[in-house]
Amino acid sequence: MSNIIAIVGRPNVGKSTLFNRLTESRKAIVDDFSGVTRDRHYGVAEWTDKQFTVIDTGGYVANSEDVFEAAIREQVIIAIEEATVLLFMVDVTTGITDLDDEIAQLLRRSKKPVFTVINKVDNTALEHEAPIFYSFGLGEIYTISSMTGSGTGELLDDVVKHFEDAPEEENSLPKITVVGRPNVGKSSLVNALMGIERNIVTPIAGTTRDSIHIHYNQFGHEFMFIDTAGLRKKTKVKENIEFYSVMRTIKALEEADVVILMIDAQEGLESQDINIFHLAEKNKKGIVVLVNKWDLVEKNNKTMKVFEDQIRQKLQPFTDVPIIFTSVLNKQRIFKAIETALEVYKNRGKKIPTSKLNDVMLPIIESYPPPALKGKYIKIKYITQINGVSPMFAFFCNLPQYIKEPYKRFIENKLRENFDFSGVPIQIYFRQK
């Protein structure tokens, strides 16, 4: 289930400071690709075991003065539509401004939970200034300091109460979605596949979910397509096109098991695509990369390999991902794309019996053990796959804390070499035994 927190508010109130605070702890663990993600305004965060996506709306606003307020206003409207919970941030040191009032007016019409967050309350003296913000008429107020983190725990405790739990599976079919920048060919693909019959089109009753689920059942393949392309609305402010599509993408991605990331062969893999890729990876989704409009590329017998290598280079460190070259226009390899997505789905649910895992991995570990640290030898005794929606492995050993990243990567590579986990992020844990 997608749980999205959108931070809205005028510039300079501290939105991105809070965003960084919420997403950082996690970043340290999984996000060692900061170089490519600097322009990121959405990220994964966690509070009391609940994972969610945070969006800093300010990041999408253009700098030019004339579109500025209109852009902010529209982003608030989009956030109201798309987010699970809205954090309306204001600044205690400036009091209420006209733009704050305008945003509050939009938020009062929202049916979604709105938390009024008074930021920059760095000390108790400032605490006394906070009650004026009750005048928004948006209910309870929360005082925080994004800089020090004070108050953020109390805020999040209340925010997560509004999260939607994963619904009872309406069925156990694979859920596939196609994401990518505008114009790469997403709707063309869905239309090409669904041309013959459009079985089920729903907003599913009883949930707030509003993406369209299409039941595909042809040629021996059955799955659900989570389609958002058809729901893409026109925005009045051109700067918000990306913001809107990012919101949609995040929702589709969180609902799906396998994400088809479609790129345009003529444009290649850009930083936005890489951000989406990493978001899918962090959400432990299966991934297939489609390089579409292959018909438009002038090619010889090396072109595909060169393309593939370049893409993998940019996807590092998670490069064990199928890359397929399609022309939706010519219907070239579109079924192959679907078949691959379904294989990735299988890989994601794959369970390796413990005996097999140990038979294969222990000899590898024996011939290439983790390097000794401070004169201490690390002994991995046995391995087991942990139950979960995506592959997780526990390696039991005497000194788990001594195992470093390179060895972990080595283990991951060996798992991938011996068992097909193509397209699937895998988690490896070293545990005390």
> Is 354 marked within a binding site?
no
DSSP string, 60-105: G--SSHHHHHHHHHHHHHHHHHH-SEEEEEEETTT---HHHHHHHH
Look-up of token digits 């945003």: 103
> Is 303 marked within a binding site?
no
Whole-angstrom Cα distance, residue 19 to residue 369? 40
Among the listed residues 299, 290, 298, the one whose alpha carbon sits nearest the alpha carbon of residue 332: 290
For strand 221-227 and strand 175-179, is the pairing parallel, antiparallel, or unpaired?
parallel
Task: Give the neighbor-by-neighbor strand order of the sheet with 4-8.
Answer: 42-47, 50-56, 4-8, 85-91, 114-119, 141-143
Q: Which is nearer to ligand GDP, 63 or 432 (CB)?
A: 63
Q: Does 55 bind ligand GDP (CB under 6 A)?
A: no
Q: Please select the residue that binds ligand GDP; options are 43, 58, 151, 322, rule is CB under 6 A.
A: 58
Q: Please report, for residues 26, 126, 132, 156, the alpha-carbon distance to residue 120 in angstroms, rounded to integers and kept in the order given.
A: 23, 8, 15, 17
Q: Does 183 bind ligand GDP (CB under 6 A)?
A: yes
> Is 390 marked within a binding site?
no
Count Cα neighbours of 231 within 13 Å in the Cβ-side half-sphere.
23
Which ranges of 174-229 would DSSP assign to H, the alpha helix? 186-194
Q: Please report, for residues 40, 86, 213, 308, the alpha-carbon distance to residue 69 in angstroms, rounded to integers and kept in the order given.
A: 22, 19, 35, 42
Q: Which is nearer to ligand GDP, 25 or 148 (CB)?
A: 148
For strand 258-264 and strand 286-292, is the pairing parallel, antiparallel, or unpaired?
parallel
CA quadruple 120, 124, 125, 127: dihedral positive or negative? positive
> Is 186 marked within a binding site?
yes
Q: Does 182 bind ligand GDP (CB under 6 A)?
A: yes
Find the binding residues for ligand GDP in span 138-157 (CB under 6 A): 145-147
Find the binding residues for ligand GDP in span 315-354 (CB under 6 A): 327-329
Find the binding residues for ligand GDP in span 209-248 (CB under 6 A): 229
Q: Does 120 bind ligand GDP (CB under 6 A)?
A: yes
Q: Please select the residue that binds ligand GDP; options are 295, 308, 339, 420, rule is CB under 6 A.
A: 295
Find the binding residues for ligand GDP in span 10-29 (CB under 6 A): 11-17
Q: Please, which residues have CB within 8 angstroms of residue 49's CB and are 6 or more apart in sequence?
A: none
Q: Please select the residue that binds ligand GDP; options are 37, 110, 187, 422, rule is CB under 6 A.
A: 187
Q: Please select the residue that binds ligand GDP; options are 46, 81, 122, 127, rule is CB under 6 A.
A: 122
Q: Which is nearer to ligand GDP, 15 or 209 (CB)?
A: 15
> Is 423 marked within a binding site?
no
For strand 4-8 and strand 85-91, is the pairing parallel, antiparallel, or unpaired?
parallel
> Is 47 marked within a binding site?
no
Q: Please, which residues have CB within 8 angstroms of residue 201's CB and are 6 or more apart in sequence?
A: 212, 213, 214
Q: Please select the residue that binds ligand GDP; options are 57, 75, 119, 283, rule is CB under 6 A.
A: 119
> Is 388 marked within a binding site?
no
> Is 181 marked within a binding site?
yes
Q: Which is nearer to ligand GDP, 160 or 328 (CB)?
A: 328
> Is 64 marked within a binding site?
no
Smallest distance from the beta carbon of 279 to ligand GDP, in angstroms? 18
Find the binding residues for ligand GDP in span 270-289 (CB under 6 A): none
Task: Give the neighbor-by-neighbor strand order of the sheet with 380-386.
Answer: 380-386, 392-397, 427-432
Q: Which is nearer to ligand GDP, 100 or 320 (CB)?
A: 100
Number of amino acids touching ligand GDP (CB under 6 A): 31
> Is 199 marked within a binding site?
no
Whole-angstrom Cα distance, residue 69 to residue 395? 53
Q: Which is nearer to ligand GDP, 296 or 389 (CB)?
A: 296
Q: Does 185 bind ligand GDP (CB under 6 A)?
A: yes
Give the phi and the psi of residue 167 in degrees, each rounded to 5: -70, 155
Show binding-site residues for GTP.
Answer: 9-16, 56-60, 119-122, 180-187, 227-231, 292-295
Footprint of ligand GDP (CB under 6 A): 9, 11-17, 58, 119-120, 122, 145-147, 180, 182-188, 229, 292-293, 295-296, 327-329
